[in-house]
Amino acid sequence: MYLAIISFISLFLHSGNVAEYKFDLTREKYITLRFTIDKDELIHLKLNNGCDVKQLTALCTSTYLNDQTKVWINLEKINFELEDSHSERNHFILNLKSKQTIKEINTFKIIANGFYEFESKFKNRIILEFLSQKKSFLLNNVKNNLFLKIQP
């Protein structure tokens, strides 16, 4: 009962100005990135003057993320390609996959500069699911990077 009430209330609460970047390692040894942002918020952002976000949401957002988010695994720059996208509960979800495979993860580094130019109070939540315990980090325009040494 309480769970149903909390779920219902959460539909009306909007944290705003937060994007979620969820990283995981697949069995095939690819890094996946599941990016989530409020749809209305994304439409109001002007990601690229030459890109019509209303018509080409996945392509525009994927291009913007690749330009604004840099990821290194074991000090090797990771390049992502668009897999698919969909909407869920007024959120836009973009799934990307690394172009290269990763045998093991010893270090993880990210620099996330996305959306700060539009809203200085914007936050990027980084979720690492490939760790033995899932961890979450909140980055902003002052602290826009993260470097971790991963224990086996």
Query: Going along the chain, which residue ranges are E strands?
Result: 18-25, 30-38, 69-73, 76-78, 80-88, 91-101, 107-112, 123-128, 135-139, 145-149
Instruction: Determine, yes or no, domain membership for 2.
Output: no
In a domain, 13, yes or no: no
In this structure, is residue 6 part of a structural domain?
no
Q: Which domain holds residue 111?
A: 20-149
CB atoms within 10 A of CB 6: 9
| pLDDT < 50 stretches in the chain | 1-14
Q: What is the DSSP letter of 150?
A: P
121 part of a folded domain: yes
Residue 12 lies in a domain: no
Residue 74 falls in which region: left (phi positive, over 0), alpha (psi -120 to 50) or beta: left
Domain count for the chain, please give it.
Answer: 1
Distance between CA 127 and CA 35 in Å, rounded? Answer: 10
Q: What is the pTM of this model?
A: 0.84
- Please report the pLDDT score of residue 151 as a whole number: 78
